[in-house]
Copies of this chain bind each other. A is one copy, B any other.
């Protein structure tokens, strides 16, 4: 008696996987309120250009970013404003979790 179909959870897992890398979270953060080209994003992330392109492809495939091509450049932009609210909600939970852990350590 799964609560929902396996496709339901698979679709959401795909989104979560797309966000499950610090470089991709940095990309989502940078693209939150402006579009940027791959060249600038590459400098921002500090990895190889091909690596950044592949990270962007993962975000694109998940539907989290859009691309616009102009001249020889690709401009990426965020399609989703959900992350701040989500991680803000999680911050509250995490802070409590850390405090609980500290309490355990302190005894």
Q: In the complex, what distance in Å separates the CA atom of A9 from the CA atom of B1? A: 36
Give A10 to B24 CA distance when docked, in angstroms.
10
Contact indicator B16/A94 (Cβ below 8 Å): no
Interface size on A, residues (CB 8 A): 40
A37 at interface by CB-CB < 8 Å: no
Q: Check: A30 CB closer than 8 A to any chain B CB.
A: yes
Instruction: Flag whether A6 is at the interface (Cβ < 8 A).
Output: yes
Report the bound CA distance from A86 to B25 in whole Å.
15
A85 and B85 form a contact (CB under 8 A): yes
Q: Which of B3, B4, B13 contacts A21 (CB 8 A)?
A: B13
The reply on A2 being an interface residue by CB < 8 A is yes
- A residues near B (Cβ < 8 Å) are 1-4, 6, 9-13, 15-17, 19-26, 29-30, 44, 63-64, 79-82, 85-87, 89-90, 93-94, 96-98
Please list 23 pairs of residues, one from A and one from B, whose beta carbons are closer than 8 Å in the complex, sorted by A's number. Answer: A2-B26, A2-B44, A3-B26, A3-B29, A4-B26, A9-B22, A9-B29, A10-B22, A11-B94, A12-B87, A13-B19, A13-B21, A13-B22, A13-B24, A15-B90, A15-B94, A16-B19, A16-B21, A19-B20, A63-B97, A63-B98, A79-B93, A81-B89
